Amino acid sequence: MQAYFEKTLLPLLRGDGGEAEFIGFDGQTLSLRFRGECSKCGVLPRCAAWCEAKILRDTGKTVRIAFTRQKPYFWDT
């Protein structure tokens, strides 16, 4: 699943100015950390659902995306 994420999903996210990091995959749940523009995006849950649907279409696997946001360092003030 990591290779699929890096080759398929990540370039699409980067195309919109986003960034994501693969955290892990336990066979059912793909854990990602969203950074860049994704970290402050208001429609991130919808994007995660889109990623789930794309994975299902491309691989035939039902995968749930669990995500966290990593705030930009300058938001810590």
CB 35 within 8 A of CB 70: yes
User: How many structural domains does the chain have?
Assistant: 1
Q: What local confidence, expressed as pLDDT, does residue 37 receive? A: 85
| pLDDT tens per residue across span 60-77 | 999 999 999 987 766 655
Looking at residue 54, which CATH number applies to its domain?
Answer: 3.30.300
3 state SS of 43: coil
The pLDDT-based confidence of 57 (bands split at 50, 70, 90) is very high
Residue 48 sits in which domain range? 2-13+20-76
pLDDT digits (tens, 9 = 90+) for 22-56: 999 999 999 999 988 888 889 999 999 999 999 99
